[in-house]
Structure 1
Amino acid sequence: MTTQVKPTKADLLSQQARADLPITGTRVLSEEDRTVELSFSSDAPIEQWWRTLLVLEHTPEACNLTRLLSGGPLLFNHNRDKHIGVVVAAHVDADGKARATVKFGRSVLAEEKFQDVKDGILCNVSLGFNTDEIKLVEEREDGVDVYRATKWTPYEISLVTIPADTNVGVGRSAPEPITTNQPTGERAMPDPNNPKEPTGEGATRQQGAPPAPTTPQFSTADIQKAERERIAALTRLGSRFDCPEDAETFILEGRSIDAFNAHLVERQGKKEDTPTEEEIHKPVGMSERDLQQYSFLNVIRALAFPENKRYQEAAAFEREASRAAADLSGKEPDGILVPVDVLTHSGSRAMTTAGTSANIIADNLMPGSFIETLKKKCFIMNVGTKLTGLVGNVTIPKQLGDGAAHIVDEEEVPDESVAGFGQIKLNPRTLAARAELSRRFIIQSSIDVEAFVRQMLATAQAQKLNQLALYADGADDLPKGVKYFTGVNAVSFALAGKPTFEELVALETEIAADDADIEGMAYVLNARMRGHCKSTQKMPNTPSMIWEAGNTVNGYNTITTNHVANGDVFFGNWADMLIGLWGGLDIIADPFTKSTSGVTRITAFQDFDFAVRRAESFCVGTKA
């Protein structure tokens, strides 16, 4: 016989919970905007635990609506992968109920559920919430404890097909408990003058009515055994598939073995889709000493002064490295090819001073490699997935659809179902970055000048890469940037350059509706749009601005770059932007065009390409 254990106050504070009730007073506010107003919680007692009732206090002070008002999700059956809309407004009313205005997305599932709500088919709503502060208000003679949540936070609203108990609107514990550190506090006596304070049997059900059903109870020994088996299975899987850290995370978060199996499948797919470091990096094999010796200035001087024997001899090593890089890439450079080893190297540089090899000193050339400098100047290099040192055309597999599952009899032959696969192709296109240097500047030997030349070339490339990553239209052998990539989501703003908080959240919703939302997504906008967000309220008559502390919008990081056109806002998972860089940096010098002024034009050619791994990972907001 199993032993039923009544939860303590600490137990109630240490888990997420749900409360279910029928949708009452539902009204469609706008068919065009796809908005619905509904009641999502009340102060009716929640019988979620054995011999324990919880009453949610419904006052503006008790109910923390911050998470819901920050783009809280509307889900179907509490499934995080079935995101069908967003909460755009929420409030607590004097009748002891909380109400929200929700906006449905445009995915197939969201369309279906919106229609079901309008037709009265989907009739129940469930709330996911955390209890932040509670007090014991009654210990009844029948052994039932009644708690009141004086501080609680709703974090999601779900439309559900089968609530836990349609008679009393009770909920059940969430499957993924979380731990919080809350003080247990003192027990408080019930207030007989408060009509909402639950006192006596009539607070939960009418006299003579049968008690509400309770969930099956398990003994402590059963629970401990199941937990030991879960931990052991996750540990074995983590060891077998070489991901013990992932297994440890799932153990600590209390997640199931099935969830970990799904994670392993997704992880394996990513491994197969993404080239390894060995496949994408093709270094010449330069030693640390070679890398310290390499000089951009030697390259530029040799190209700018081809008749100068001293400069040609000084660049002998750089020419040798160029030939090795050209042989590896299979492409003959027009000037001198800087190997990928140099571009990705970060460290000190040995310099010879005073014309003698005896005085060799090591100094910090730059805070990072050429590529790292490029990243600092170029946001897309900092957030996208970089494939450097490529050779030839690159094809990356991409799964286009899922296989179908069938239920068959024992001797029945299942239908064949094969997931569709496509390809992401990266083809080298040439980017030219140009700078002009005077003769006197080129003949300098200072390490600061060497660093300046590298940073100058990286900055010139970064400016163009930023622009192309967002707005390249595919014409004239250019790749397609995010705005013009086929399948990218789009949201229209009513006023040019002045989107509302709801319109910005709509960018998130479009991606979520395509099941492409993950942690780490970010907004990309320009300085004018940042100013608008800093001076515009989220909702009328509220103190909260769209721009939040920590340079975030609705909890997501922001990237400000004036390569974004006025009025546009980009949002998405930027890791799904692939940036391919082939071979090294081909540098040529033109001392003739501006020879009368003693200026040499330096042009650095880099073969590159962009591709979007999943178009659904991005959304562009702009004026209609």
Structure 2
Amino acid sequence: MRRMGEVREINVEARTVELAFSSTTPVRRWFGDEVLSHDADAVVLDRLLDGGAVLVGHNWDDQVGVVQSARVDSDGVGRAVVRFGKSARANEIFQDIVDGIRQHVSVGYRVITISEEIREGQPNLVTVTRWEPFEISVVPVPADPTVGIGRGLENPPEAGGAEARQTGGENAGAVAEPNDTGQRETQMKTIITRDAEGNLVRAKVDENDQIIEVIEVLERAGAAETAIVQRAQEQEAARVRELTELGREYGAPDLATEMIAGRHGVSDMRERLLDHLHQRSTQDRQLSERSGIGLTDSETEQFSFLRAIRALANPTDRSAQEAAAFEFEVSDAAAEAQGRDAQGVMVPMDVLMRAPLNTGSGGATAADTGGNTIANPLLTQSFIQMLRARTILLQLATPLMGLVGNPDIPTQEGGAAGYWIGEDDEAAEDLLSLGQRQFSPKTVAAYSEITRRTLKQSSMDIEALVRSDLALALASKLDLAGFYGTGTDDQPLGIANTNGVNVVDFAGAGSGGGVAMPTWAEVIQMESDIAAANADVNRMAYVQNAKMRGHFKSTQKFDGTNGAPIWESDNTVNGYRGEVTNQIANGDVFHGDFGNVLVGMWGGLDITVDPYTHSRRGRLRIVTMQDADYVLRHPAGLCYGTDAS
């Protein structure tokens, strides 16, 4: 059972709230008017005092705090002091209470004994003479405002149903049946159960759930068995048919077979269709089957960027060509696997994905690769990891490495719809709106420069430096395209220009560099627009540039109130992760679940060397080219905030 109460006093520093959770005011239930006794021995507070849970909406999986103290005062009101945690969810709920957005509380309790009075012409009066509260919840919708804030509406609980399971155990919702005496003290209750013959009955039972009196026979034993078996067979055939069709439509017959064998439903199949492409096991399979050229671990460790660059920079130097013989052989194999010619040296995905331990050569001396100068491992990260570490979007997005061709990606275009059905009607499976978007490789080129003297160094730190510079050169271009790519002129389509992405127009009073800067309300609106599309998740983030972070740090959420800035001390915004990159334009903010952004990279990094542009200065320009593209799997899960004016 549940009752509503009110918030009394808030201590922001201690994160505590004093509240009233119960009173003696009658509440209309399905069985009559209920009154909770608040006599000295009527309320059992043991469970509340033993670390009782503070929940959201009576959801046992959504705990945000703990009960610190509880009491029943002489005015017939139950009161408690609760303390909220520091998780993102707890911070969200506590801040809403501080801001006056969430004002209502409710108590979940178990009825132990009752006293019932039969009243002519009006509902019976049921006094709960002994009861046990076991959790206090923050709730959104009150129904009865007579106790400060209000109470929650309830439907008659079905025995063993969701209400009983959610609100507290074996006796939740138990109410005594009336009798002819007009008033009595009892622990007897009415439940739906099976009798000794297997009939489904509504019966009065004692405290041990033993049937005392059968009130109604709901279903005779065995009467529905044939119909149940037939319906089960029809449903199983429909399940197999729909799973098979989904597997065939989206090119995943093996997944359909797995789901059929595992007794999974169509909804499970849809989730797997949306997620299986970016799972690690799928990435590894794509890498090994499509883009890898079969290098062993030892061979990937031998590949040296420096040797390849030296050979490209000095095409007439026989010793440089011989030293890079292995790199040229690997490049030819990678180019053949990709079905295109390399402009310089093609570095296969085998090398890009692996963190090499050294640059020992096949045919080159240890001194040539730095093996005699530094004994530590060459790198702690692979080239791809270095690339991701230098970008914001590639860190937050879902990578798909080693693509071949133009693969189709299943995307979520909308949600499932609910509907009402009649008695004995079969619930039809509503197809989740799935679509397809195609990855199409776009070539991003970037360059870095290195002096000839540096290139001649043998230290493995130089190899690491070269790889790092190449990763940085590519990362900035890839990151910018992911946010602002136009989809034209050989660019990918970025978040800001993708149809279906939520857009919030910043028209706030603040300004910076001639553009409007967002207010706290507009920051909240970005989250609200995503939530309205049922796309909000805990892993969302806000991404902005350094100037916007400065604006957030110097702007209060509410003018003249608590003085709290938008940018919070734990580097979060509105309870979500805050990320900063100067790739974002002044006045812009991106928000959402960036895991919806799929970044595809085709196998092979093409490296060419330009020794002519800065030949008089003795510099080499190293040009890198990588095929990549972006696809938004669920655009409604992202929001773009900007000054549209």
Range class of TM-score, shorter chain: 0.5 to 0.7
Q: The residue matched to 2:537 in structure 1 has which SS?
A: coil
The answer as to whether partners of 1:56 and 1:152 remain within 8 angstroms in 2 is no
CA gap 1:56/1:515 in 2 versus in 1, 3 angstroms: farther
Tell me the equivalent position of 1:369: 382
In structure 2, which of residues 433, 442, 462 is the aligned counterpart of residue 429 of structure 1? 442
The answer as to whether partners of 2:349 and 2:603 remain within 8 angstroms in 1 is yes
- Tell me the CA shift for residue 542 of structure 1: 0.9
Tell me the equivalent position of 2:25: none
Structure 2 Cα separation of the partners of residues 608 and 551 of structure 1: 31
The answer as to whether partners of 1:471 and 1:481 remain within 8 angstroms in 2 is yes
Question: 1:407-556 maps to which residues of 2 (within 5 A)?
Answer: 419-495=432-508, 496=511, 497-540=516-559, 541-556=561-576
Structure 2 Cα separation of the partners of residues 542 and 474 of structure 1: 44
CA gap 1:17/1:435 in 2 versus in 1, 3 angstroms: closer
**Structure 1 spans left out of the alignment, 5+ residues:** 20-45, 48-52, 74-85, 92-97, 101-126, 135-139, 180-207, 223-259
- Tell me the CA shift for residue 272 of structure 1: 5.1
The answer as to whether partners of 1:18 and 1:171 remain within 8 angstroms in 2 is no
Q: The residue matched to 1:289 in structure 2 has which SS?
A: helix
- Tell me the CA shift for residue 269 of structure 1: 3.3
- Residue by residue over 1:200-243, the C-alpha shift from the partner in whole angstroms, topping out at 9 and shown as x without a partner, is xxxxxxxx9999xx997899988xxxxxxxxxxxxxxxxxxxxx
Q: The residue matched to 2:604 in structure 1 has which SS?
A: strand
- Tell me the CA shift for residue 555 of structure 1: 1.2
Structure 1 Cα separation of the partners of residues 428 and 107 of structure 2: 45
The answer as to whether partners of 2:369 and 2:460 remain within 8 angstroms in 1 is no
Question: 1:144-155 maps to which residues of 2 (within 5 A)?
Answer: 144=129, 154=138
Q: The residue matched to 1:364 in structure 2 has which SS?
A: coil
Tell me the equivalent position of 2:140: 157
The answer to whether the aligner puts 1:10 opposite 2:30 as a matched pair is no
Which has the greater radius of gyration? 2
The answer to whether the aligner puts 1:293 opposite 2:273 as a matched pair is no
CA gap 1:65/1:596 in 2 versus in 1, 3 angstroms: closer
CA gap 1:432/1:508 in 2 versus in 1, 3 angstroms: same
Q: The residue matched to 2:400 in structure 1 has which SS?
A: strand
- Residue by residue over 1:435-491, the C-alpha shift from the partner in whole angstroms, topping out at 9 and shown as x without a partner, is 122221222221111111000000011111111111111221211111111110011
- Tell me the CA shift for residue 549 of structure 1: 2.6
The answer as to whether partners of 1:581 and 1:606 remain within 8 angstroms in 2 is yes
Deviates more, 1:563-572 or 1:277-286: 277-286
Structure 2 Cα separation of the partners of residues 68 and 422 of structure 1: 32
CA gap 1:508/1:410 in 2 versus in 1, 3 angstroms: closer
The answer as to whether partners of 2:359 and 2:369 remain within 8 angstroms in 1 is no
The answer to whether the aligner puts 1:594 opposite 2:600 as a matched pair is no
The answer to whether the aligner puts 1:268 opposite 2:307 as a matched pair is no
Instruction: Supply the RMSD in Å over aligned alpha carbons.
Output: 4.7
- Tell me the CA shift for residue 598 of structure 1: 1.9
Q: Which amino acid aligns with 2:283?
A: E
CA gap 1:147/1:513 in 2 versus in 1, 3 angstroms: same
- Tell me the CA shift for residue 348 of structure 1: 1.5
Tell me the equivalent position of 1:112: none
Structure 1 Cα separation of the partners of residues 189 and 591 of structure 2: 43
- Tell me the CA shift for residue 273 of structure 1: 5.4
The answer as to whether partners of 1:69 and 1:89 remain within 8 angstroms in 2 is no
Q: The residue matched to 1:422 in structure 2 has which SS?
A: strand
The answer as to whether partners of 2:410 and 2:633 remain within 8 angstroms in 1 is no
CA gap 1:219/1:547 in 2 versus in 1, 3 angstroms: farther
- Tell me the CA shift for residue 402 of structure 1: 5.5
In structure 2, which of residues 577, 580, 601 is the aligned counterpart of residue 557 of structure 1? 577
Structure 2 Cα separation of the partners of residues 176 and 374 of structure 1: 50
- Tell me the CA shift for residue 565 of structure 1: 0.8
Tell me the equivalent position of 2:334: 325
CA gap 1:381/1:272 in 2 versus in 1, 3 angstroms: closer
CA gap 1:130/1:434 in 2 versus in 1, 3 angstroms: farther
Deviates more, 1:393-402 or 1:514-523: 393-402
Q: Which amino acid aligns with 2:620?
A: T
Tell me the equivalent position of 2:249: none
Structure 1 Cα separation of the partners of residues 429 and 387 of structure 2: 48
Tell me the equivalent position of 1:392: 405
Question: 1:192-207 maps to which residues of 2 (within 5 A)?
Answer: none
- Tell me the CA shift for residue 597 of structure 1: 2.2
- Tell me the CA shift for residue 70 of structure 1: 6.5
- Tell me the CA shift for residue 623 of structure 1: 1.7
- Tell me the CA shift for residue 270 of structure 1: 3.2
Tell me the equivalent position of 2:624: 604
Structure 2 Cα separation of the partners of residues 403 and 547 of structure 1: 36
Q: The residue matched to 1:562 in structure 2 has which SS?
A: coil
Structure 1 Cα separation of the partners of residues 206 and 581 of structure 2: 58
In structure 1, which of residues 319, 335, 340 is the aligned counterpart of residue 344 of structure 2? 335
The answer as to whether partners of 2:543 and 2:580 remain within 8 angstroms in 1 is yes
Structure 2 Cα separation of the partners of residues 16 and 177 of structure 1: 12
CA gap 1:576/1:220 in 2 versus in 1, 3 angstroms: farther
Greater RCO structure (CA 8 Å; 6+ sep): 1
CA gap 1:402/1:308 in 2 versus in 1, 3 angstroms: same
Structure 2 Cα separation of the partners of residues 271 and 407 of structure 1: 30
The answer as to whether partners of 1:16 and 1:177 remain within 8 angstroms in 2 is no
Tell me the equivalent position of 2:286: 280
Q: The residue matched to 2:140 in structure 1 has which SS?
A: strand
Structure 1 Cα separation of the partners of residues 642 and 90 of structure 2: 23
Tell me the equivalent position of 2:158: none
- Tell me the CA shift for residue 158 of structure 1: 3.9
Give aligned pairs, total: 464
Tell me the equivalent position of 1:169: 151
CA gap 1:216/1:343 in 2 versus in 1, 3 angstroms: farther
Structure 2 Cα separation of the partners of residues 403 and 588 of structure 1: 50
Structure 1 Cα separation of the partners of residues 403 and 462 of structure 2: 29
Identical aligned pairs, as a percentage? 35
The answer to whether the aligner puts 1:578 opposite 2:598 as a matched pair is yes
Q: The residue matched to 2:631 in structure 1 has which SS?
A: strand
CA gap 1:305/1:15 in 2 versus in 1, 3 angstroms: same
Q: The residue matched to 1:363 in structure 2 has which SS?
A: coil
